[in-house]
Structures are given as structure tokens and as C-alpha cells.
Structure 1
Amino acid sequence: MPVTFGQPFKAGDWLHTTQGLVAQVGGATIPLQADEISSHRDGSARFAVLSAQLSNVQPGEARIINIFPGAKVNSTPSVPASPDWNLELEAQVYDANGNVTATLVAQPQSQLVTQIASTTGRRLAGAVATEYTVALPFKNKATGTPHPHLSARLHTRLTDGGQRIRTDVVMENTRTWTASPGNITYSFAVKRNGSTIYTQPKFTHYHHARWHKVLWTGALAEPQARVRHNMPYFMASKAVWNYDLNLKISDTELSNSLAYLKTKQQEQAALGPMANLFLTPYFPTTGGRSEIGPFPKWTASYLISQDDRALQIMLAHGDAAGAVPVHYRDESTGQVLDLDRYPKVTVLVGTSEPSLPNLTPNSTTIWTPDTAHQPSLAFVPYLITGDAFYQDEVTFWAGWNLAAMDPQYRGYGTGLLTQDQIRGQAWNMRALSEAVRITPDSHVLKGYFKTRMTNNMNWYKQRFVENASSESPLGAVQKPDENHLTAPWQDDFLGVTFGQLVDDGEPHALPVLNFFSKFNVGRFLNEGNGFCIAKAPGYYWNIRDANGVFIKNWDSLFTKNFPGTSCTADLPIDGYPEAPDGSAAFARAMLGSAASAGIPNAASAYNLWVSKTPRMDAAFTADPTWAITPRI
């Protein structure tokens, strides 16, 4: 039985350029196939897609796979020259009146055969699994004319000598420069050897969006296997924040969330694969929600529990990420729109050069994306599965953030993300770091994302380290549009993200985080200097005096913002200290992340804040979005 999954590695654990991997399974040692490798800065593997062939696994049986470095050997693909695949994709296109205007078809068999012969377009290549990405347009069945916008990408994985074929059928409406982009209404079917094996009823495919469906074909059945990771090691790899694995996620909450997902899928059935599920489609909506945080609520729940219900919810929203109109693929490269080729392009703010084609009429969607409220939807699904769809989603979102900034303010091709709201900067940098971390070393965009990360980190270093004397002496980050204010809750978001950047080994991240932490950590430790810890979570505070000069000490900061307030034992704690999703919880995550990064006194501040918010832990069992703890 073949299994393929994603696996992060601690720095130094596997030197993939000189070592292979082996697995011990039930007393037997078997080779592991490794693909799509991304490296740490020391050259060791950070992440890989692993494939193994397991033998004699019985229904319901659990196998422990222990992974070790071993001798480096070649894993030779074994695939037939012309697999028994023979898929045909068919889309019936409708106009606004419900009339069929065209039947479109895509027949990828001959292209797969060509790619097998030429070994092109492979992302997995070995004895266990070989996967080709077959990209092709749809053509009018009557005339043979290619459709200008609708296309398919089929991630076609052959295992067991081609007797099992896993096809991730990705439907895209993502072209950037082709005239008249817009929504496309169609029904869809996949046929194999003339027999229909999958149908999608009529729906409207949004512009600059994509969706997918995994299908298994072949002589052998789909392998029914589920991989669960060694989560303490997964966390120790620093691929993700250090969530509290001592929490037990509420079984009731997991069941209720899955039931709610089923309800939402039924309610939104008319949207088809463009459904938003739990996501708030109008991103600028004020207030907290379950997708906003370091990771969404369901992703944090999965990392802690690895429960099947949490997995279903997480993957469903990883799929929903494709429905948001942020997917711009450059026709000339086949890759995400980039600023190297188009330094003056913008897809959201400012004037674009060259101009983007105008959307066709009636191309409205349910979505209004922005950068300040974006969730991380596909990163952990990719870490878990190693699936190409989720890898592409990570790069699409990171690419969109860069192209969404005003070209002049981002420094054109420099790609600065620093003119956004503070929370926007936090989530932009998170998305960029996700792309840097998991994009394979061999990927054409690896250097592109790394360069933009370097450019942004140099900007932060110059402003907050080299020119720190021009900033708040207390380390508060000025609100970009009102420099007399700071937003402590947004500063916490930025601190959480930069804590992860330190974990990533990103140069300059630690000195920048040290600056942020003067304020972020300091407001929890300066009650002796006149700043009450009960007020440490905050919304907006003044950081300048009446003359516009930065406030220089904690006592003056407190007096300016909380006049007449004394640090008494019964002073209520701000930020909803019993809730899992208030600013008091944001602070927990920030302090835990800072402590993991080695920020002085962050661990003691974290422990103190935990003692002040004891009821939050029970709330985290239902919503662990912010349940980040210090690494030990």
C-alpha cells in the first residue's frame, strides 16, 4: 500500500544532499522516497514530501513509521509508457439566461504520455510514486478553439506500476493578462474510457479562482490510509508555532464543528466549490472570527489533536482558499504573477502598469479580500499532505500580497509589505515566510520569495534596529496613519509573526523582535514602574505627549492613557481574560512566541500572564487559536 505525506525536519537532522532516508516499520527496514525538498539555511532538510510502500497492512491496523537517515540511493520511477488513465474532462458553459453556449473538453492522455517519455513536469519521481503536472486548456468540442480562460492542471500520481492513479483535478480561471476575465458558469464531468466517474452540478466559477477534486482510478483500489505525525517532533521542527500539546480539545466542540461544516456545505451548495464555509467573505469585517490568528481555530485544533474531524474541517478550508479571487497566473511563465517581470503591476491598490484587463460584466463574487484580515488556509494542509494544490495556494496568496501593495509604496519590484496596517504587515510577513519555508529548493519561485523576504527584513532592521533612536523609546510601533498611536493588540500579531521568523532562522528577525519586545513584553513587567499589568492588553494607546514627543517611561505612558487609575489588586484585567479569542489571549501567544525566540524576560512575563488569566486554559480546549506556549 503506497502512502505519501509531508514531513518537516529539525535543522541538522537530515543532510539530504549526502544522505537518504529509511523507515523502520514493524521490524522491517524500507527505503523512503523523498521529493519537493526545502532546505534550512544550514543546508539540511526543512521539509520533504515522503512516500513509502507498506506491506501486509490489515484493516484498522496502526503502523508506527520511524524515520532515520541512511545511505543515499537512487529511487527509480517505474511507470508504464502509456498508463491506463484515459480521462476526459467536459464542461458545459451557460449564459446568464441558463442556455448552454458551448461544450468544452480537455483530453490529457497524450500529453501525459509525452511527459512520461520526456520526464518533464514531474514533482514526485521514485519507485513508490511518480507525479506529473499535466496542464492544458479546454477546447470547444465543436470548433477545437481553446477557451481563453478555463484550464485544467492535473496532478497525476502513478503508484504500483501505474495500477493505482491518483489525479488531483484542478480547475483554474486564473489568467492575468488574457482579455475579458470574468466569472464562468458551467457544469463539469470527468469521464474515464467513456464512463462518467465524477460530476459537479452547474455553478459559477469566480474570476481568478480555482478548485480541485481528487479522483482515484486504476486496477487497484484507493489506499485507505491516514498518516498521523509525531506532533512533538513536528512542533520541535519549528515549522509551526509551539502550540500547547497538553490541551485536550473538546470532543463536543469537534463534533459540533464538523456538524456545522456539513450544515454550511448544504446551505452553500449553490456556490459549489466557490463556497466560503466558515470564512467571512468580506475580509474587512470588524471583530474577531475563527479564521483570524497565527493559524485558524480549526488548524490549531488539528495540530493539537490530529482528530479526523479537525482534519476534515482544515482541509475543507484549505480547499476554500482557492475560491477567493487572489489567484493570478502569468500566462508567459505558468507561474504566480511576479514583480521581477512586472515591478509596477498592482492587483488591488494604486495604478497598475501595465493595466490589468477589465472584468466582464456580472463578475461580482461573494468575496472582498484584503491583506489585514487574511487567514493562513493552505500552509498546514501542505505540511500534512504534501499535495501540490496546497503548495500552489501558499504561493498564490504570498504572490497576491506582494502584487496587492501600491507599487510606489512597496518600492516597485522590491516588494516591501511595510506600508500596510500593523496587522496587515503581520499577516503579509507570515504568508511570505510560509512561501519561503515550503517552496521546494528546485522551484522557480524559491529565489523570488527569498529575495522579497530579504528586502523586507532589511527594511525592518534599518528602521527598528539601525534607526531605533527615531522610534518610541519604549518599543511601541507607531500606527502608520496616526503616528501618535500604537495598537498593542496588533503589535502582538507582529510579535507572534516575528517570533516564527526567528524560529525560521531568518537573519535580522531576532534584533527586530528584540525592539518590538521592549514594548510587547515590557508592558507585562513594569508594574513596579507605574504600568499596571491589568491594562497590558490594549486597543489603541497614545505614545506621544501633548507636544508630539515620544513618551519615554512606563509611568508616563500609563498616566497618559489611564488617568486616575491605580494598580490595585482588584483592578479588572482588560482584554477578556477568560476568553480564548480576546486581546488577553493574543498576548499569551505573543509572550509564548517571544519566549521561544529567547527574548529576555519573555518566559517570566508569560508565566506571570498565565497566572493572571487562569480560566483561559479551559477556553482554549474549545478554541486553541492563540494557545502558543514557550518551547522548552
Structure 2
Amino acid sequence: MMRRRHLLATAAACAAPAGAMAQVRAAAPACPSQRGDVVGLVLEGTGGPAGAVAVFGQAFRPGDVPDAGAGRAALRARLPDGRPVPVQVDVKARHPDGSARWAVVALSCPALPRGSRQGVVLSAAAEAAGPAMDTAAALSGRQAVVTVRGAGGAEWRLDLLPAFRAALAEAPWQAGPLAVAARISAAVSPAAAGGVASLRLVADVALRADGALWVEAWFRNDVAMRPNGGEAAYAAQLVLDGRTALEVTIPRQFQYTGWGRLVGSVRAGTAPWVRHDAAYLADAAAVARYDLSTGVDEAVLARMGQAVTTPAWAAPLTARGIAQDMGQTGGRPDIGPATMPQAAWLITGDPRAAAYALGQAEAAGSIPWHYWDPSGGAGSGGWIDTRRWPRLWSDGRGGPAPGGLMQPVAGDTGWRADCAHQPDLNFVPYLLTGRRALLDNLQAQASWCVVSQWPAPAARGAAGAAGPGEGVNVVRGNQVRGAAWSLRQLENAAWVSPDADPNRPWLRAAAAGNWAWIRAQIPAWTAAQGEAHGWIPGEYGSAGVLPPWQQDYFASTAAIAARRGDEAARAVLTWMANFLVGRFAAADRGFTRNDGAAYLIANLSSGGQPLGSWAAIGEATRARGLSNGNGWGKSEGDYVQLAMASLAAVSDALGSEKAAQAYGWLAGTGAPFTRAQDFARDPVFHIVPRGRAGARCAP
């Protein structure tokens, strides 16, 4: 069916009134200026004392933080005046050359008055940080106890600290002088969980050198393909150092959902807020290259800041502004390479945008697409994958297990997940914070992207099925936007998952298989599409037409994968560039330039065959009343923004001068929603070519 136009608007919770705006821009990070310097950051004071430990995630460019031997890497940190700052780095993922790709970093920060800012520079070091702290001494006299009670009075209790000590010895998440962290997972007694065997506690416990004890406790009712799963009902309590840090009653938690909170017993005061260098993150191919010069409307940030203080925001298992009916079209601030709050966070570093984005990352746990396989991964648990479940279709039409879920997703969850309109709620929050629970959410969604697709006999494990992408294909037969966002999830989850994570091999194989499959189709698609080749075939809902903006969606995913080194993705993007760039350079061949960003253009003949030339496409587009002509009447939405973002990504990933020229032309046309104030109010697609992103650092 025809979707109504994707009109540009910002959700009511984040909208800004028209008129004059105060724009918030990122604080310039300290400039790397010495040999070995890698990246500058900004610390924003909270009034805490010297020595408060800030922990965050940081991506690195290939080669910037070399392997220091024995699988280690080392960093130093200093203030711009040269004073050293104690630092600890725990590398989780590496580039092919062995250098750090993504790590959890801890800083022992200087004392900073609330609101003050201090630059800090991270540098590659010759030696790793010192030995881990004395955990036994640091935990002496501490307490962390979780209790779960069922309606009938049954109680399940777990003392986290003995389990924490054991987990640190076996598989620490952080291990050094500033921070130690590890994960505890345990099945909750069915009697305490309302009679179901699908509820588990996943607690990430961290102890820091400043004396803070942090627990991120998640109650995940997500065990799949096992008997006795279903809706859970319970009361939960977490006591930290004699204080009730968390207490809540959950009358009904649907299966395949989770919720959690990060709470702490903080003795020394809160550590400073860390503002990342978004330009460096773009150079590292972690995120798109956002324009940092325009900033974000203060009113947008103020509304986000207000939203997170409401009582409704604090309640578990609520949507927190996420579109629960994901099939909903129209203005959606959550659809893109990142969500609008995440883009605002990257562009400004503002804690209000971060709090909103992190709140939505937590709320993503309530979407019923979390399928935990206790025997998955390397055998001790992992998200559902098609190696173990090749026939699984999580849709209710999958039938009895193993064709479908053993317990189908309930029909009254309030959520309708849709791969064509799914937001990525967790990649950026995990990337910037290192909160492990958000990686869980990211990986679970990536798994769902595969098992929610109908496993056609030729696609999953059928006799004789072979070739790239079999068993994991999210492109074939899908809407192009669905393929774009599903591949976005697989690509992001595979790229940022720790090298030792048992889910990573399947995620990497799934992403690579899809890129290889698309690449294998290029010769046939080129022959069919002719001169204007470069558009991904898919289900569009309207006969004979193509929405260019869906190709732009797909290009954003292909570009980030290409920039991360995937050669198949680069080949796909290179092929797509013929269409993506060519639509703005074919006026002399009969295709109106402004129609490159029209809502729809004609692409098939009345007989369903691809139109083989720009002239034929242009003539059919005009004949069907779809052409912009010399104006923009068919682009009254974010379609020009999308085209600009696509051209910028092609320019960045491929070094295409033609794409950069087309971007420059389009940016100067005055097309709808391309003014600076439009991007300041909704920066989701404010993506620019390399060199146009604004000032990077301060001396």
C-alpha cells in the first residue's frame, strides 16, 4: 500500500517553536598537539572533588592506539598545560591491524566547579596502566543485594558481591587501578517471578577508585525457546550499602522485554560529564559526519531536559517518546543513522540530549524483540541466531517451534515492531558510555532483524541452498528502507561488539553475508537498469515508481560500512553512486535535476521492466505528474535533506568529487528544510562532506 509522505516534523516532546533561536554548539575539545596525541575531550564539572572517576566509551581510528603486546593497549591523559591525568583503558574491539577500535576508558578527574569545562587529551602510551585495585579491601563492608518477590510471597535473593568477586576472576569487563567491573547473570526463581521460567537478572557491577559502587540491574524476561516462558509479575528491590537504591513493583512484564536502571553508592561526589569529539568519531567511522557549526536549538534541548524529569519518565517499561507503532509514518525524529536526540548529543555534547537518548536506550528494552537463547552464543547464552534456529520466524505466522517462537509475542504489548521504520536506540549511547546493558539491547535488535524476516525455503538452510547471505538475508524481498535499517543494526552491532563476545561471529557473518549477496547481484541489476543503474530493487508499495529517499537511507548504511573497511559494502556504494550522484547530473540527458530529490520518480515501464535511460525515467516521471520541474513542489519533506546526506556520505566514503559538487549545488538551491534553522531544530540528517563540519578543537 502507498505510504503517506514522510513530512519533516519534530516530535512534540522535542519540537521547537518557530522564530528566533538560541543555538547550542559543542565545546571545542583540546587540540592534540604532541607526538602520540590521539583525541581531545572536554570535561564538564559537576562539583565533585579531585579523583572522581569518569567512565565512558571511546572509538579510535586505525593505528591511533597500537597493540602494546599481550593483547593490551595503553593510553596517557593530560591537561592542555601538561599535567597528567590518571587513565585506564580496557580495549574491547580491535581493528584488523591490532590497534584499538573501541574501548572503555576511565579517568581520575580534576576537581571542577559545576558547569566549568576542562580540556583533556588522550595519547598513545608505551606502557599500560598499573595493576588492578585491591578489590577485597575496596569491597570490605560494602553491600549489594537484589531481592525479587512474587505475589504469593515467594522470595528470591542474590547477594551480588560474592558473585562479583567470582566474575572478576573469570571475565572482568574492566580491570585496572581506577575501575573494576564484571557481570552477574542468574535465573530468577519461577515462584518469585509470577510462575514463569523466562525471567533473569543481569547485573553489571563496577567498583571505582573513588569509592563509588555502581550497579546496573536489568530484569530481562527474555528467555526464548524454552518451556514455561510467559508474562512475569514481581516486586524487585536493590539495596546498596544499607540504602534502598531501587524498589519497584512490576504487575505485568511481557515476555521478550527487559528493563533496568543504573544506580550507585557514591562517596566522593559525581564525576565530571565527558563531552566527546564528534569529528574524531566520524574520522574513526563510528558515526556519520555531522555538521558541528550549526548547533542545536536551545528550545529542543530544553524540552528534552524537561521530559526526563517527569514522573512518567521514571516508570519502568514505558516508551519514553519512542513511536510504539513503528509503522507510523510522517515526521519521525527517530529514523536515520541515529535518532534526533543522539544526533543532538553528538553535535553539542549537551547532557540534556544525552539523558534523553540514554533514557530511550533503556526504554528500548520494553520492545518485545529480545530473544535470549540460554544455549546460544558459545554455548553459555546468546541472542537467537540462525545457526541454531535456521527455520525460526518470530512473526506469529511462524507456527509452532522451531518454525516459530515457543511462546508467541503477546498481541497486547502496545508495540508494533517494523523493520522498515525501526530506530537504532542503543548504538550511539553504548558507543559513548560503555554501558554493557545497552550493547545487549543493540545485539538483540540486530538478531530480531534477521529472525523477523520470513525464512523463505531458498533463504534458510534448505537443501541445496548456498551462496552469500543465505540464512541471514535482510535485503531480498524487503522494502529498501527495511533493508537499510536492518543492515544498519547488523553492521553497528558487529562493529562495536567486543572481539570476545560470543554473539559477534554470527553478527559479523550476517552483515558480511548481506553485503556479499548485494555485491553478487550487481552485474544482473546493472544489465537491467542500464544507464541509470545504481538503485537497490525492493518492495515500494506503488507500481512503477521508486522513492529516491529510500536509496538515500540505504546509502547511509553502505557508506558507514565502506568507511569501516568492508570491501563488499564499498563496491555496493560505488555502484549506487552512479544513481545517487547521477540523478543530479543528467539534465542534459533528459532528467530534471530537481527530481533527484522528488518524493517519487518513475523507474519501471508499464510492463514492469526497468527504464534503461535517464531520458526515459525523466519522461515517465513528468508524464505521471511526479516531477518537480524547476521548483520543489514534490519535495515538501525531508527528501532534499536525505539527498544531501547521501551525497555527503558518498563524498566522504569514496572521495567522490562529483558527489561533493552535487552536494554543494543542492545545498545552495534554497530547497525546503535546508536552512540552518531547519537543521538546528532537527539535526538527524545534518550530515556533510569531509571538511565542512566546522571547527574541531581549541588550543
TM-score (norm 1): 0.90
Find the partner of 1:606 among 657, 663, 669: 663
Change (3 A) 1:140 1:239: closer
Residue number in structure 1 paired with 2:316: 273
Matched residue type, 2:236 = F
Instruction: Tell me, yes or no, if the aligned pair for 2:530 and 2:613 is still in contact at 8 Å.
Output: no
Tell me if structure 2 keeps the 8 A contact 1:21–1:31. Answer: no
Q: Deviations over 1:280-336 (max 9, x none)?
A: 111112323111122111111111111121111111111111110111111123211
CA deviations 1:373-403 (Å, max 9, x no partner) are 1101111101111110112121111111122
- The answer for the alignment partner of 1:109 in structure 2 is 161
Q: Secondary structure at the match of 2:260?
A: strand
Specify the code of the residue in structure 1 equivalent to 2:183: T
- Inter-partner Cα distance in structure 2 for 1:193 and 1:304: 38
User: 1:8 is matched with which residue: 48, 59, 72?
Assistant: 59
Aligned to 1:156: 205
1:367 to 384, 390, 415: 415
In structure 1, the partner of 2:122 is 67
Tell me which of 243, 246, 251 is aligned to 1:198. 246
Give 2:132's match in structure 1, choosing from 54, 62, 77: 77
Find the aligned partners of 1:530 and 1:360 in 2 and give their Cα distance: 52
Q: Report the CA distance between 1:193 and its aligned residue.
A: 6.0
2:651 pairs, out of 568, 576, 595, with 595
Instruction: Tell me the equivalent position of 2:680.
Output: 621
Q: Which amino acid aligns with 2:167?
A: Q
* Structure 1 residue 566, shift from structure 2 partner: 12
- SS state of the match for residue 274, structure 1? coil
Measure the CA separation in 2 of the matches of 1:356 and 1:191: 39
2-side partners of 1:387 and 1:324: how far apart? 19
| Equivalent residue, structure 2, for 1:86 | 143
How far apart are residue 148 of structure 1 and its match?
1.2
Q: Are 1:24 and 1:67, in contact at CA under 8 Å, matched by a contact in 2?
A: yes
Q: Letter of the 2:385 partner, please give it.
A: D
What's the offset of the Cα at 1:424? 0.5
1:534-568 Cα offsets, whole Å, 9 max, x none, are 22223343323234443222122111121298999
User: Paired residue for 2:482?
Assistant: 424
SS in 2 for 1:440: coil
* CA–CA separation in structure 2 for the residues paired with 1:630 and 1:188: 49
CA 316–529 in structure 1, closer or farther in 2 if over 3 Å, else same? same
| Pairwise CA distance, 1:630 | 0.7
Cα pair 1:479 1:486 within 8 Å, conserved: no
Percent sequence identity over aligned pairs: 23
Aligned-residue offset at 1:50: 0.8
Q: 1:170 matched to which residue of 2?
A: 218
Kept in 2, the 8 Å contact 1:514–1:599? The answer is no
Q: Is the 8 A contact 2:599 2:634 kept in 1?
A: no
Alpha carbons 2:146, 2:236 under 8 Å: kept: yes
What CA distance in whole angstroms lies between the structure 2 residues aligned with 1:75 and 1:393?
33
Equivalent position of 1:511 in the other structure: 571
Corresponding letter in the other structure for 2:487: M
Amino acid at match of 2:575: F
Match of 1:41 among 83, 96, 103: 96
Task: Give the secondary-structure state (helix, strand or coil) at the position aligned to 2:124.
Answer: strand
Q: Please, what is the CA RMSD of the aligned residues?
A: 2.8
Shift in alpha-carbon separation, 1:352–1:124, aligned structure 2, 3 A: farther
8 Å Cα contact 1:479/1:487 also seen in 2: no
Q: CA deviation at 1:352?
A: 6.7
Please give the alpha-carbon distance, in whole angstroms, between the structure 2 residues aligned to 1:182 and 1:567: 52
Tell me the equivalent position of 2:509: 451
> Is residue 410–residue 418 contact of structure 1 (8 Å, CA) maintained in 2?
no
**Per the alignment, do residues 567 and 275 of structure 1 end up closer, same or farther by CA in structure 2, a change over 3 Å counting?**
closer
Is 2:588 the partner of 1:533?
no
**Are positions 1:396 and 2:444 aligned together?**
yes
SS of the counterpart of 1:16?
coil
Residue 343, structure 1, aligned to residue 390, structure 2: yes
- Higher RCO, 1 or 2 (CA under 8 Å, sep at least 6)? 2
Structure 1 residue 135 corresponds to structure 2 residue 185 = yes
Question: For the Cα contact (< 8 Å) 2:474–2:487, is it kept in 1?
Answer: yes
For 1:400, the aligned partner's letter is W
Deviation, 1:366, is 1.0
Contact 2:88–2:176, Cα closer than 8 Å, also in 1 = yes
Shifted more, 517-526 versus 73-82: the winner is: 73-82
Kept in 1, the 8 Å contact 2:238–2:246? The answer is: yes
Deviation for aligned residue 1:184 = 1.9
Shift of 1:29: 2.7
Give 2:124's aligned amino acid: P
Tell me the alpha carbon deviations over residues 567-598 of structure 1, each in whole angstroms, 9 at most, x when there is no partner. Answer: 9985345312xxxx521221121111111122
Q: Deviations over 1:77-116 (max 9, x none)?
A: 224338244322223334xxxxx56444333333223334
Contact kept in structure 1, 2:419 and 2:449, CA below 8 Å: yes
TM-score, normalised via structure 2 length: 0.82
Structure 1's 460 and 4: CA in aligned 2 closer, same or farther, altered over 3 A? Answer: same
1:215-614 matches, cutoff 5 A: 215-217=263-265, 220-262=267-309, 266=312, 272-332=315-375, 333-348=380-395, 350=398, 354-356=402-404, 358-359=406-407, 364-408=412-456, 410-412=459-461, 414-419=471-476, 420-465=478-523, 468-475=526-533, 476-480=535-539, 484-563=544-623, 570-576=630-636, 582-597=638-653, 598-599=655-656, 601-613=658-670
Taking the aligned partners of 2:629 and 2:450, their CA distance within structure 1 comes to: 47
Q: CA separation in 2, counterparts of 1:361 and 1:324?
A: 11
Higher mean alpha-carbon deviation, 173-182 vs 27-36, is at 27-36
8 A contact 1:487–1:541 mirrored in 2: yes
Secondary structure of the residue aligned to 1:34 is strand
Number of residue pairs the alignment of both structures matches: 614
Deviation at 1:127, TM superposition (A): 1.4
Q: C-alpha distance in 1, partners of 2:628/2:218?
A: 60
**What SS does the aligned partner of 1:72 have?**
coil
> What CA distance in whole angstroms lies between the structure 2 residues aligned with 1:511 and 1:613?
33
Is 1:27 aligned with 2:82? yes
Q: Tell me, which stretches of 5 or more residues in structure 1 are unaligned? A: 95-99
Q: Give the aligned partner of residue 97 of structure 1.
A: none
Distance 1:281 1:294, change over 3 A: same
Write out per-residue CA displacement over residues 479-511 of structure 1, whole angstroms, 9 at most, x where no aligned residue. 347784422121111112111111111112222
Q: Mean Cα displacement is larger for which, 613-622 or 24-33?
A: 24-33
Instruction: Judge conservation of contact 1:379–1:390 (CA < 8 Å) in 2.
Output: yes
Q: Which moved more, 1:474-483 or 1:306-315?
A: 474-483
In 1, are the aligned partners of 2:241 and 2:265 still within 8 Å (CA)?
no
Change (3 A) 1:141 1:285: closer
Show CA shifts across 1:182-202 (max 9, x none): 222333221246653321244
Given that 1:474 and 1:552 are in contact with CA atoms closer than 8 Å, whether structure 2 keeps it comes out as yes
